[in-house]
Amino acid sequence: MAVLLNKLSMMLRSVLYLTLFLCFCLSLIVLDFQATPAGDLEKGIHTDQIISNERRIGPFKLNEKEFTVILNLMKYQGASNSFDETVESFSIVDRKGEVHYQKLFDVASGNGGFAESIGIWAYALENCDRKVFHYESGRLKESTSKGQGGVGLIIYYGVTPSAPCSGVSCQVFALKEERLVPLFSPLTVYGEIYELSHGSNPNARILFDGDTMRFGVWTGWFEVIVPVKVFDRLKVEPLHHNLTFNYDAFDVKVKRRASEKETFVRLFDYPETSSIPRHVIIKKDTKVEFLWAYTRASIQSGSTESSISTDAMPWLMVRIDDNEGFVRDAEDLLALGIHPAG
Protein backbone atom coordinates (compact mmCIF):
# COMPACT_ATOMS: atom_id res chain seq x y z
CA MET A 1 0.00 0.00 0.00
CA ALA A 2 2.82 2.37 0.88
CA VAL A 3 4.54 1.54 -2.41
CA LEU A 4 1.34 2.38 -4.34
CA LEU A 5 0.98 5.69 -2.57
CA ASN A 6 4.60 6.59 -3.38
CA LYS A 7 4.08 5.83 -7.08
CA LEU A 8 0.89 7.90 -7.13
CA SER A 9 2.67 10.81 -5.42
CA MET A 10 5.50 10.66 -7.99
CA MET A 11 3.01 10.68 -10.86
CA LEU A 12 1.20 13.71 -9.43
CA ARG A 13 4.51 15.57 -9.03
CA SER A 14 5.45 14.74 -12.65
CA VAL A 15 2.14 16.07 -13.91
CA LEU A 16 2.57 19.22 -11.80
CA TYR A 17 6.13 19.78 -13.09
CA LEU A 18 5.00 19.25 -16.67
CA THR A 19 2.14 21.73 -16.21
CA LEU A 20 4.49 24.33 -14.73
CA PHE A 21 6.94 23.81 -17.60
CA LEU A 22 4.21 24.25 -20.20
CA CYS A 23 2.99 27.42 -18.48
CA PHE A 24 6.54 28.78 -18.43
CA CYS A 25 6.98 28.11 -22.16
CA LEU A 26 3.65 29.72 -22.94
CA SER A 27 4.61 32.83 -20.95
CA LEU A 28 7.84 33.11 -22.95
CA ILE A 29 5.90 32.98 -26.22
CA VAL A 30 3.54 35.70 -24.99
CA LEU A 31 6.42 37.90 -23.86
CA ASP A 32 8.20 37.42 -27.19
CA PHE A 33 5.06 38.43 -29.07
CA GLN A 34 4.63 41.51 -26.87
CA ALA A 35 8.27 42.47 -27.44
CA THR A 36 7.85 42.46 -31.24
CA PRO A 37 7.92 46.11 -32.38
CA ALA A 38 4.61 47.39 -33.68
CA GLY A 39 6.43 48.88 -36.65
CA ASP A 40 7.62 45.42 -37.73
CA LEU A 41 4.08 44.09 -37.62
CA GLU A 42 2.81 47.10 -39.57
CA LYS A 43 5.64 46.70 -42.06
CA GLY A 44 4.51 43.20 -42.83
CA ILE A 45 0.97 44.40 -43.38
CA HIS A 46 2.19 47.30 -45.56
CA THR A 47 4.45 45.05 -47.60
CA ASP A 48 1.43 43.03 -48.64
CA GLN A 49 -0.23 46.23 -49.87
CA ILE A 50 2.75 47.65 -51.80
CA ILE A 51 3.49 46.73 -55.42
CA SER A 52 6.40 47.92 -57.56
CA ASN A 53 6.36 49.06 -61.15
CA GLU A 54 8.60 50.87 -63.62
CA ARG A 55 8.18 54.05 -65.65
CA ARG A 56 10.52 55.38 -68.35
CA ILE A 57 11.19 59.00 -69.33
CA GLY A 58 12.86 59.69 -72.65
CA PRO A 59 14.88 58.74 -74.57
CA PHE A 60 17.00 61.91 -74.57
CA LYS A 61 19.53 62.50 -77.34
CA LEU A 62 22.82 64.04 -76.22
CA ASN A 63 25.63 64.32 -78.77
CA GLU A 64 24.41 61.37 -80.83
CA LYS A 65 23.92 59.28 -77.68
CA GLU A 66 20.58 58.31 -76.20
CA PHE A 67 19.72 58.09 -72.52
CA THR A 68 16.59 57.03 -70.67
CA VAL A 69 15.58 57.78 -67.10
CA ILE A 70 14.02 54.73 -65.43
CA LEU A 71 11.84 55.32 -62.36
CA ASN A 72 11.22 52.48 -59.91
CA LEU A 73 7.85 53.29 -58.37
CA MET A 74 6.07 51.93 -55.31
CA LYS A 75 2.27 51.82 -55.34
CA TYR A 76 0.35 51.54 -52.08
CA GLN A 77 -2.86 49.70 -52.86
CA GLY A 78 -5.93 51.07 -51.14
CA ALA A 79 -4.13 54.08 -49.62
CA SER A 80 -6.67 56.10 -47.68
CA ASN A 81 -4.99 58.59 -45.36
CA SER A 82 -1.82 59.49 -47.25
CA PHE A 83 -0.02 59.20 -50.61
CA ASP A 84 -0.45 56.12 -52.76
CA GLU A 85 2.65 56.38 -55.01
CA THR A 86 6.29 57.42 -54.66
CA VAL A 87 9.64 56.95 -56.42
CA GLU A 88 11.83 54.43 -54.63
CA SER A 89 14.85 54.89 -56.93
CA PHE A 90 15.81 55.99 -60.41
CA SER A 91 18.62 55.29 -62.85
CA ILE A 92 19.93 56.82 -66.07
CA VAL A 93 20.85 54.23 -68.71
CA ASP A 94 22.15 54.45 -72.27
CA ARG A 95 20.84 52.65 -75.36
CA LYS A 96 22.81 49.51 -74.45
CA GLY A 97 21.32 49.40 -70.96
CA GLU A 98 24.51 50.48 -69.18
CA VAL A 99 23.78 52.43 -65.98
CA HIS A 100 25.47 55.85 -65.84
CA TYR A 101 23.83 57.08 -62.62
CA GLN A 102 21.41 55.78 -60.00
CA LYS A 103 19.90 57.11 -56.78
CA LEU A 104 17.91 55.42 -53.99
CA PHE A 105 15.45 57.22 -51.68
CA ASP A 106 14.34 56.42 -48.14
CA VAL A 107 10.63 55.57 -48.33
CA ALA A 108 8.50 55.83 -45.18
CA SER A 109 5.05 54.23 -45.06
CA GLY A 110 2.45 55.03 -42.46
CA ASN A 111 -0.94 53.68 -41.54
CA GLY A 112 -2.90 54.03 -44.76
CA GLY A 113 -0.26 55.17 -47.30
CA PHE A 114 3.21 56.66 -47.78
CA ALA A 115 4.26 59.45 -45.44
CA GLU A 116 5.38 61.51 -48.46
CA SER A 117 5.50 61.24 -52.22
CA ILE A 118 8.78 61.71 -54.12
CA GLY A 119 8.49 62.80 -57.76
CA ILE A 120 11.10 62.89 -60.54
CA TRP A 121 10.95 64.90 -63.79
CA ALA A 122 13.61 64.87 -66.51
CA TYR A 123 14.32 67.02 -69.58
CA ALA A 124 17.09 67.47 -72.11
CA LEU A 125 18.77 70.89 -71.87
CA GLU A 126 19.37 73.06 -74.92
CA ASN A 127 21.34 76.29 -75.38
CA CYS A 128 19.35 79.44 -76.07
CA ASP A 129 19.63 81.34 -79.35
CA ARG A 130 22.35 84.00 -79.29
CA LYS A 131 22.76 87.32 -81.07
CA VAL A 132 26.08 87.51 -82.92
CA PHE A 133 27.65 90.37 -84.89
CA HIS A 134 29.80 90.09 -88.01
CA TYR A 135 31.13 92.35 -90.74
CA GLU A 136 29.61 92.01 -94.18
CA SER A 137 30.49 94.34 -97.07
CA GLY A 138 32.15 96.69 -94.62
CA ARG A 139 29.12 96.89 -92.31
CA LEU A 140 28.43 95.38 -88.90
CA LYS A 141 25.41 93.11 -89.12
CA GLU A 142 23.47 91.24 -86.48
CA SER A 143 22.36 87.63 -86.83
CA THR A 144 21.05 84.88 -84.59
CA SER A 145 23.06 81.80 -83.72
CA LYS A 146 20.77 78.86 -83.09
CA GLY A 147 21.25 77.05 -79.81
CA GLN A 148 22.49 73.49 -79.63
CA GLY A 149 20.10 70.69 -78.84
CA GLY A 150 20.88 68.16 -76.15
CA VAL A 151 23.81 69.74 -74.28
CA GLY A 152 22.79 68.16 -70.95
CA LEU A 153 20.09 66.50 -68.91
CA ILE A 154 18.25 68.00 -65.94
CA ILE A 155 16.52 66.09 -63.16
CA TYR A 156 13.96 67.88 -60.96
CA TYR A 157 13.25 66.46 -57.49
CA GLY A 158 9.89 67.05 -55.85
CA VAL A 159 8.60 66.05 -52.42
CA THR A 160 4.95 66.27 -51.35
CA PRO A 161 3.79 67.55 -48.92
CA SER A 162 5.97 70.63 -48.71
CA ALA A 163 5.28 74.14 -47.49
CA PRO A 164 5.55 77.06 -49.95
CA CYS A 165 9.18 78.16 -50.42
CA SER A 166 10.35 75.22 -48.29
CA GLY A 167 12.87 74.01 -50.84
CA VAL A 168 13.05 72.59 -54.37
CA SER A 169 15.96 70.74 -55.96
CA CYS A 170 17.45 69.96 -59.35
CA GLN A 171 20.56 68.31 -60.75
CA VAL A 172 22.27 68.74 -64.13
CA PHE A 173 24.14 65.99 -66.00
CA ALA A 174 26.54 66.27 -68.95
CA LEU A 175 28.74 64.01 -71.03
CA LYS A 176 32.31 63.70 -69.82
CA GLU A 177 34.50 61.27 -71.78
CA GLU A 178 31.52 59.22 -72.99
CA ARG A 179 30.00 59.06 -69.50
CA LEU A 180 26.93 60.96 -68.38
CA VAL A 181 27.88 62.40 -64.99
CA PRO A 182 26.29 64.84 -62.52
CA LEU A 183 27.94 68.26 -62.59
CA PHE A 184 26.97 68.89 -58.95
CA SER A 185 25.03 67.29 -56.11
CA PRO A 186 21.27 68.08 -56.01
CA LEU A 187 21.01 71.88 -55.88
CA THR A 188 18.40 73.12 -53.41
CA VAL A 189 16.89 76.59 -53.21
CA TYR A 190 14.46 77.73 -50.52
CA GLY A 191 12.12 79.46 -52.90
CA GLU A 192 11.48 78.40 -56.48
CA ILE A 193 13.18 77.28 -59.68
CA TYR A 194 12.04 79.40 -62.62
CA GLU A 195 10.54 77.33 -65.41
CA LEU A 196 12.59 77.00 -68.60
CA SER A 197 10.98 77.48 -72.01
CA HIS A 198 10.03 74.48 -74.12
CA GLY A 199 12.73 73.28 -76.49
CA SER A 200 12.76 71.51 -79.84
CA ASN A 201 10.57 68.68 -78.49
CA PRO A 202 8.28 68.07 -75.48
CA ASN A 203 11.15 66.44 -73.55
CA ALA A 204 13.51 69.43 -73.94
CA ARG A 205 13.93 72.78 -72.19
CA ILE A 206 15.95 75.85 -73.24
CA LEU A 207 18.37 77.49 -70.81
CA PHE A 208 18.19 81.22 -70.13
CA ASP A 209 20.76 83.67 -71.55
CA GLY A 210 24.34 82.71 -70.80
CA ASP A 211 23.36 79.06 -70.28
CA THR A 212 21.88 79.92 -66.91
CA MET A 213 18.98 78.82 -64.77
CA ARG A 214 17.11 81.23 -62.51
CA PHE A 215 16.45 80.51 -58.86
CA GLY A 216 14.13 82.56 -56.68
CA VAL A 217 15.74 82.74 -53.23
CA TRP A 218 13.15 83.57 -50.56
CA THR A 219 14.37 86.05 -47.93
CA GLY A 220 11.29 85.94 -45.73
CA TRP A 221 10.06 89.25 -47.19
CA PHE A 222 10.63 89.03 -50.94
CA GLU A 223 12.31 86.89 -53.57
CA VAL A 224 15.79 87.52 -54.98
CA ILE A 225 16.11 86.11 -58.52
CA VAL A 226 19.60 84.61 -58.84
CA PRO A 227 20.86 83.47 -62.29
CA VAL A 228 23.30 80.55 -62.03
CA LYS A 229 25.55 79.03 -64.69
CA VAL A 230 24.99 75.29 -64.37
CA PHE A 231 27.66 73.89 -66.72
CA ASP A 232 31.29 73.15 -65.82
CA ARG A 233 30.86 74.66 -62.37
CA LEU A 234 28.13 76.47 -60.47
CA LYS A 235 28.58 80.21 -60.78
CA VAL A 236 26.29 83.09 -59.80
CA GLU A 237 25.76 85.64 -62.60
CA PRO A 238 24.56 88.97 -61.08
CA LEU A 239 23.21 91.90 -63.11
CA HIS A 240 26.14 94.02 -61.98
CA HIS A 241 28.54 94.43 -59.06
CA ASN A 242 28.79 97.53 -56.87
CA LEU A 243 32.53 97.90 -56.25
CA THR A 244 32.05 100.60 -53.59
CA PHE A 245 29.76 98.60 -51.32
CA ASN A 246 30.70 95.06 -52.45
CA TYR A 247 27.14 94.01 -53.27
CA ASP A 248 25.74 92.26 -56.33
CA ALA A 249 22.50 93.46 -57.94
CA PHE A 250 19.73 91.00 -58.80
CA ASP A 251 16.20 91.17 -60.11
CA VAL A 252 13.61 91.01 -57.37
CA LYS A 253 10.04 89.78 -57.02
CA VAL A 254 7.93 91.56 -54.40
CA LYS A 255 4.31 91.25 -53.34
CA ARG A 256 2.93 94.51 -51.96
CA ARG A 257 -0.26 95.36 -50.13
CA ALA A 258 -0.74 99.12 -50.12
CA SER A 259 -1.70 100.59 -46.75
CA GLU A 260 -4.87 102.60 -46.31
CA LYS A 261 -3.06 104.88 -43.88
CA GLU A 262 -0.41 107.48 -44.63
CA THR A 263 3.05 106.58 -43.38
CA PHE A 264 6.71 107.15 -44.26
CA VAL A 265 9.89 105.22 -44.96
CA ARG A 266 13.54 105.98 -44.33
CA LEU A 267 15.10 106.02 -47.80
CA PHE A 268 18.90 105.63 -47.84
CA ASP A 269 20.95 107.07 -50.71
CA TYR A 270 23.38 104.14 -50.53
CA PRO A 271 23.15 100.52 -49.35
CA GLU A 272 24.87 101.48 -46.10
CA THR A 273 23.33 102.06 -42.67
CA SER A 274 25.84 104.81 -41.87
CA SER A 275 24.36 107.05 -44.58
CA ILE A 276 21.70 109.54 -43.49
CA PRO A 277 18.21 108.55 -44.73
CA ARG A 278 15.51 110.78 -46.12
CA HIS A 279 11.95 110.50 -44.81
CA VAL A 280 9.61 109.88 -47.75
CA ILE A 281 5.84 109.96 -47.30
CA ILE A 282 3.83 106.94 -48.47
CA LYS A 283 0.18 107.55 -49.33
CA LYS A 284 -2.49 105.20 -50.64
CA ASP A 285 -1.95 106.36 -54.23
CA THR A 286 1.86 106.63 -54.02
CA LYS A 287 3.61 104.88 -56.92
CA VAL A 288 6.14 102.35 -55.63
CA GLU A 289 8.53 100.43 -57.92
CA PHE A 290 10.92 97.71 -56.77
CA LEU A 291 14.07 97.88 -58.89
CA TRP A 292 16.78 95.52 -57.63
CA ALA A 293 17.96 93.61 -54.61
CA TYR A 294 21.53 94.33 -53.50
CA THR A 295 23.03 91.39 -51.67
CA ARG A 296 25.77 88.74 -51.70
CA ALA A 297 24.67 85.40 -53.14
CA SER A 298 26.70 82.24 -52.65
CA ILE A 299 26.57 78.53 -53.43
CA GLN A 300 27.59 75.90 -50.90
CA SER A 301 28.52 72.62 -52.61
CA GLY A 302 28.70 69.34 -50.73
CA SER A 303 28.93 65.69 -51.67
CA THR A 304 25.22 65.06 -51.04
CA GLU A 305 23.63 68.50 -51.48
CA SER A 306 24.32 71.98 -52.82
CA SER A 307 22.38 75.11 -51.87
CA ILE A 308 21.97 78.77 -52.85
CA SER A 309 21.74 81.48 -50.23
CA THR A 310 21.83 85.27 -49.91
CA ASP A 311 22.37 87.72 -47.07
CA ALA A 312 19.70 87.37 -44.41
CA MET A 313 18.34 90.85 -45.17
CA PRO A 314 19.31 92.24 -48.61
CA TRP A 315 19.04 95.91 -49.50
CA LEU A 316 16.01 96.67 -51.65
CA MET A 317 16.40 99.46 -54.21
CA VAL A 318 13.07 101.22 -54.75
CA ARG A 319 11.57 104.16 -56.59
CA ILE A 320 8.87 106.02 -54.64
CA ASP A 321 7.27 108.45 -57.08
CA ASP A 322 10.42 110.29 -58.22
CA ASN A 323 12.62 109.33 -55.24
CA GLU A 324 15.13 106.47 -55.61
CA GLY A 325 16.99 104.88 -52.76
CA PHE A 326 17.49 101.83 -50.57
CA VAL A 327 15.55 100.24 -47.70
CA ARG A 328 16.30 97.21 -45.58
CA ASP A 329 14.85 97.39 -42.06
CA ALA A 330 11.61 95.62 -41.21
CA GLU A 331 9.77 98.82 -40.24
CA ASP A 332 10.50 100.37 -43.65
CA LEU A 333 9.50 97.22 -45.54
CA LEU A 334 6.21 97.15 -43.63
CA ALA A 335 5.65 100.81 -44.42
CA LEU A 336 6.07 99.96 -48.12
CA GLY A 337 3.37 97.30 -47.77
CA ILE A 338 5.72 94.30 -47.76
CA HIS A 339 4.89 91.67 -45.15
CA PRO A 340 6.94 88.69 -43.91
CA ALA A 341 5.86 85.17 -44.84
CA GLY A 342 7.24 81.66 -44.83
Q: Which residue, 198, 219, 244, sits at the end of a domain?
A: 198
User: How confident is the model over 30-54, as a mean pLDDT?
Assistant: 51
| Average pLDDT value for residue range 62-71 | 94
Cis peptide before 59 (omega within 30 of 0): yes
> Is residue 13 situated within a structural domain?
no
- Structural domain count, the chain: 2
Residue 32 has pLDDT above 80, yes or no: no
Structural domain containing residue 330: 208-342
Which residues make Cβ contacts (< 8 Å) with residue 329, sequence separation at least 6?
Answer: 266, 313
Q: What span, in angstroms and rounded, lies between the C-alpha atoms of 32 and 15?
A: 26
* More confident site: 335 or 50: 335
pLDDT at 303: 86
Q: Which residue has the higher pLDDT, 164 or 183?
A: 183
Q: How far is CA 310 from CA 42, 88, 242, 248, 274, in A?
A: 44, 33, 16, 10, 22
Give residues with Cβ within 8 angstroms of 18, minimum separation 6. none
- Are residues 168 and 141 in contact, defined by beta-carbon separation less than 8 angstroms? no
Same domain for 53 and 181, yes or no, is yes
For residues 52 and 167, membership in a common domain is answered with yes
pLDDT at 34: 36
By CB atoms closer than 10 A (0-12, 13-18, 19+), residue 125 is buried
Higher pLDDT, 323 or 23: 323
Q: Whole-angstrom Cα distance, residue 288 to residue 318?
A: 7
Same domain, 183 and 213: no
Same domain, 241 and 331: yes
Residues 236 and 311 in one domain: yes
The residue among 315, 312, 243, 308 whose CA lies nearest residue 275 is: 315
Question: Is 148 part of any domain?
Answer: yes
Span 125-149, average pLDDT: 59
Of 170, 198, 226, the last residue of a domain is 198
Tell me the backbone φ, ψ of residue 3, rounded to 5 degrees. Answer: -65, -40
Arithmetic mean of pLDDT, 234-240: 94
Statement to judge: residues 251 and 186 lie in one domain: no
Note the pLDDT of residue 108. 83
Q: Give the H or E element holding residue 134.
A: strand 130-136
pLDDT computed for residue 148 by the predictor: 57
Quick one: 99 and 216 in the same domain? no
